[in-house]
Amino acid sequence: MSAQANGPVELLQRLIRFDTVNPPGDERAAQEFLAERLGAAGFECELLGATPGRPNLVARLDGAASGPTLCLLSHVDTVLASASDWTHDPWSGDLDDGCVWGRGALDMKGQTAAEVAAACALAQGGWRPERGSLIVVVVVDEETGGSEGAQWLTATHPDKVRCDYLVNEGGGGILEYGERRLVCLGCGEKGIFRFTLNTDGVAAHASMPRLGDNALVKLAPLLARLAEGQPSYDLTAVPRAFLEQLGVLEDGDAAAALERVRAVDERLIPIVEPMLGVSLAPTRIYASEKINVIPARARVAIDCRVPPGLGESEALVRIEEVLGRDGYRLEWTEQVVGNTSPFSSPVADFVRDWVAGHDRSATVVPVILPGFTDSRTFRAAFPECAAYGFFPHRFATRFETDPLVHGSDERIDVRDLEYATTFFGDLARGLLG
């Protein structure tokens, strides 16, 4: 197998051409392709899955001496795409205007290609860890929660994927801030504390509405408060460090710090603000099942995200701050506590040193993801594991790439793809010798 055949551009083009939209997923062909490449390079490969069509790939390269295990993690399933909304076919893998185009180019087949290309180049060149092991883990089913992917794998085969260090999606993007370039290191993810607000009334025929008591209209003032209200901020360790590195935090006042950020570049506000506290977003509403019946019950579903280190009690304080305590019944529907890894560790320290050596105008800053990745599953399964989101870019900024994730015309700059491949190779040698 030639080195060019395992280059990140060719690997990404091939990966995009596998339609792995989830649901249904159907990732087997893509996983077999990657296993063949990694196996030919010298890795021991296994395909492990809950169902035959959706195996997870675990590729291992052991060193001669005991030591830490570094896991390069990614997923190959994607969200759907409508070809009519794209200028290039979503599954073409076209190389045009210096970019590889297609669904998954950024989320996250691009990182898969970079990690696999780096791992193959190391192994084909004769490198083996001086100590410990390098594992490349490519999972399925991330886009719908990971029940057949990371969750199943860590629960069913923990010893095959147990690791000390992990690098996954969720960081590496660049934020422009005045004259500064900020490179984001994903150190954690917010928790999920979803709930419904329920209201009660009296059913009646819709042609005589005053005979009833419409539970649906009782949601209206609650929705208005959610639209107009902003919970007070709860500044936890990682966003505090982020604001401190920007030099905008005084006396722990997150709201004032955010206004200082706004004064420099308002584009950062939608990215920075979710890190600072509890967020509340109404997303679904339910009432009468028939158009001619006044509903006796109504409910609205709220997607609530909570910073790591905080839980139900802190979320409830912020909910009541916005909504008050009366006029509804609250029912929790899902609770997952947020998770973090330290901003100082062998991986985090390596990232800072590597960026300093490759992009002297950039500063690495810690960030918290408002959403979640499979890193949360590995942190929960292996509490000693230091897990980070990092897929380094140098040319395209987050202002350019963030709108493309799950959107039309998703693409990645070839220079960034090759830049990240260099990083993953250097990371393995730096941590494992």
pLDDT at 330 over 70: yes
The structure's pTM equals: 0.94
pLDDT class of 329 with cuts at 50, 70, 90: very high
Same-domain status, 22 and 153: yes
Q: Quick check: is 219 in a domain?
A: yes
Q: For residue 324, give the CATH number of its domain.
A: 3.30.70.360
Q: For residue 24, give the CATH number of its domain.
A: 3.40.630.10
pLDDT at 140 over 70: yes
Q: Quick check: is 272 in a domain?
A: no
| pLDDT digit string, tens, across residues 219-237 | 999 999 999 999 999 999 9
Q: Quick check: is 41 in a domain?
A: yes
pLDDT at 341: 96
The mean pLDDT value for 184-191 works out to: 97
Q: Quick check: is 243 in a domain?
A: no
pLDDT class of 334 with cuts at 50, 70, 90: very high
Same-domain status, 323 and 351: no
Closest CA to 423 of 135, 121, 187: 121
pLDDT at 4 over 90: no
List the catalytic residues: 77, 142
pLDDT at 150: 98
pLDDT at 1 over 70: no
Last residue of a domain, one of 300, 319, 336: 336
Same-domain status, 306 and 428: no
Q: Quick check: is 240 in a domain?
A: no
Q: Are strands 56-62 and 165-168 parallel, antiparallel or unpaired?
A: unpaired
CA 363 to chain centre: 21
Q: How far, in Å, CA of 237 to CA of 243, rounded?
A: 10
| pLDDT digit string, tens, across residues 96-125 | 999 999 999 999 999 999 999 999 999 999
pLDDT at 2 over 90: no
Same-domain status, 197 and 90: no
Same-domain status, 98 and 140: yes
Same-domain status, 330 and 352: no
pLDDT at 5: 74
Q: Quick check: is 222 in a domain?
A: yes
Last residue of a domain, one of 336, 367, 383: 336
Domain count, the chain: 2
Same-domain status, 330 and 358: no
Domain that holds residue 222: 191-234+277-336
| pLDDT digit string, tens, across residues 275-313 | 999 999 999 999 999 999 999 999 999 999 999 999 999
Same-domain status, 99 and 211: no
pLDDT at 251: 95
Reported for 422-425, long-range contacts at CB under 8 A and 24+ positions apart, including other chains, are 422/118, 422/358, 423/114, 423/118, 423/354, 423/358, 423/390, 423/392, 424/72, 424/114, 424/115, 424/118, 424/119, 424/167, 425/118, 425/119, 425/121, 425/122
Same-domain status, 284 and 149: no
pLDDT at 3 over 80: no
pLDDT at 208: 96
Last residue of a domain, one of 297, 313, 336: 336
Same-domain status, 18 and 144: yes
Same-domain status, 344 and 363: yes
The mean pLDDT value for 60-85 works out to: 97
| pLDDT digit string, tens, across residues 382-407 | 999 999 999 999 999 999 999 999 99
Average pLDDT along the chain? 97
pLDDT at 45: 98
The mean pLDDT value for 141-161 works out to: 97
Q: Quick check: is 242 in a domain?
A: no
Q: Quick check: is 263 in a domain?
A: no
pLDDT at 6: 84
Token readout for 75 is 């997923």
| pLDDT digit string, tens, across residues 18-41 | 999 999 999 999 999 999 999 999
CB within 8 Å of 387: residues ≥ 6 apart: 165, 166, 167, 168, 341, 375, 378, 379
Same-domain status, 160 and 219: no
